């Protein structure tokens, strides 16, 4: 008897079988479509929420942080400045929150049929790219409007780094997400704690304020946040404002690589026996 599929245990913890993932690419596509379709299924406005959510968030930031608090936006129109940060942060936080529940949210599927478990968090990162793309189009519309209105913005060659910024946001969220997901199989309290941490994390990232208004000492502390340099690179490349540093971008990239390595090790270790604990 010949077997078309042979399931073998993973010998190395720091290993991702990309060949096997490619063999299950149809399942990967199905998960991506599921995440996109079910998110706003049975809603009246449907995909329009992809535009409405960042638009309402921008208006709220304009009222609270721009109007009441009077926080600077580096001389840029408030909608443009806030949307730039929202596009980056929303993608990162969405991927992070959804990948962090990989094991607990999919235990019913994992317990019934075999497939590479890594497909689930990877499909989450991919499906959220669609949402980010739609929100980026909203940013482009606002961007073009202010260009027509004569507002001075100075996009530069660093705009070519945007694909790298997106990849690094995906990598950081995936790394953090699979680590948290692996830990919550035993410690469910971490889910509540992590949700709170993500909310605070946004305020430690230059989303609603420019990094350039801080003192050098505080900028150095903020730069320890690996997401900081990615948001600043996005703003600097598209609008010519912000603080760009190759060293900080390199730090974020190195942080991402180490984080993904740790995440893969923890994920592979937990997936062997997580059905006994969830």
Domain ranges of the chain: 19-32+46-276
The pTM is what?
0.88
Encode pLDDT of 164-206 as tens digits. 999 999 999 999 998 888 888 777 767 778 888 888 999 999 9
Q: What pLDDT, on the 0 to 100 scale, is given for residue 235?
A: 94
Are residues 83 and 54 in contact, defined by beta-carbon separation less than 8 angstroms?
Answer: yes
Determine what percent of the chain is predicted with pLDDT higher than 90.
40
In the predicted model, what is the mean pLDDT of residues 43-48? 69
Q: What is the mean pLDDT of the chain?
A: 85
Q: In b/e form, how buried is each residue of 17-38, taking b as 16+ CB within 10 angstroms?
A: eeeebeebeebbeebbeebbee
Q: Given the structure tokens 């959804």, which residue do they identify?
A: 98
Task: Compute CA distances 102 → 95, 107, 185, 253, whole Å.
Answer: 11, 8, 10, 24
Q: What pLDDT, on the 0 to 100 scale, is given for residue 218?
A: 85
Q: What pLDDT, on the 0 to 100 scale, is given for residue 255?
A: 96
What is the C-alpha to C-alpha distance for residues 56 and 90, in angstroms, rounded to an integer? 13
User: Which of 60-69, 101-110, 134-143 has the least mean pLDDT?
Assistant: 101-110
In the predicted model, what is the mean pLDDT of residues 103-107? 76
Q: What pLDDT, on the 0 to 100 scale, is given for residue 198?
A: 87
172 phi/psi in degrees, rounded to 5: -65, -45
Between helix 78-99 and helix 119-148 the angle, nearest 10°, is: 180
Q: What pLDDT, on the 0 to 100 scale, is given for residue 274?
A: 58
Three-class DSSP category at 7: coil
In the predicted model, what is the mean pLDDT of residues 97-122? 81
Greater model confidence, 42 or 206: 206
Extended strands (E) in 103-244: none
Q: Count other Cβ atoms within 10 Å, centred on residue 160.
A: 9
Q: What pLDDT, on the 0 to 100 scale, is given for residue 109?
A: 79
In the predicted model, what is the mean pLDDT of residues 74-88? 92
Encode pLDDT of 6-40 as tens digits. 555 555 556 676 788 888 889 889 888 888 777 66
What is the C-alpha to C-alpha distance for residues 225 and 255, in angstroms, rounded to an integer? 10
């Amino acid at each position: 008897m010949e077997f078309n599929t042979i399931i073998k245990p993973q010998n190395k913890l720091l290993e991702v079988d990309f060949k096997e993932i490619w063999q299950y690419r149809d399942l990967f596509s199905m998960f991506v479509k599921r995440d996109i379709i079910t998110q706003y299924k049975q809603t009246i406005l449907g995909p329009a929420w992809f535009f409405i959510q960042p638009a309402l968030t921008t208006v709220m930031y304009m009222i609270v942080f721009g109007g009441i608090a009077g926080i600077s936006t580096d001389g840029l129109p408030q909608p443009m400045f806030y949307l730039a940060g929202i596009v980056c942060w929303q993608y990162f936080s969405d991927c992070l929150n959804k990948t962090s529940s990989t094991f607990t949210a999919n235990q019913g599927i994992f317990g019934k049929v075999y497939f590479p478990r890594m497909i689930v968090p990877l499909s989450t990162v991919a499906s959220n790219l669609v949402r980010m793309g739609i929100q980026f189009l909203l940013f482009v519309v606002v961007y073009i409007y202010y260009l027509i209105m004569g507002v001075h913005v100075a996009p530069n060659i660093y705009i070519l780094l945007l694909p790298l910024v997106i990849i690094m946001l995906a990598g950081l969220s995936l790394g953090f997400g699979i680590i948290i997901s692996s830990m919550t199989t035993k410690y469910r309290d971490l889910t509540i704690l992590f949700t709170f941490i993500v909310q605070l994390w946004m305020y430690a990232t230059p989303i609603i304020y420019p990094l350039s208004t801080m003192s050098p000492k505080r900028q150095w502390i903020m730069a320890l946040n690996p997401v900081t340099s990615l948001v600043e690179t996005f703003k600097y490349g598209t609008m010519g404002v912000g603080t760009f540093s190759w060293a900080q971008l390199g730090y974020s990239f190195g942080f991402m690589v180490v984080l993904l390595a740790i995440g893969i090790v923890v994920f592979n270790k937990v997936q062997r026996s997580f059905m006994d604990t969830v």
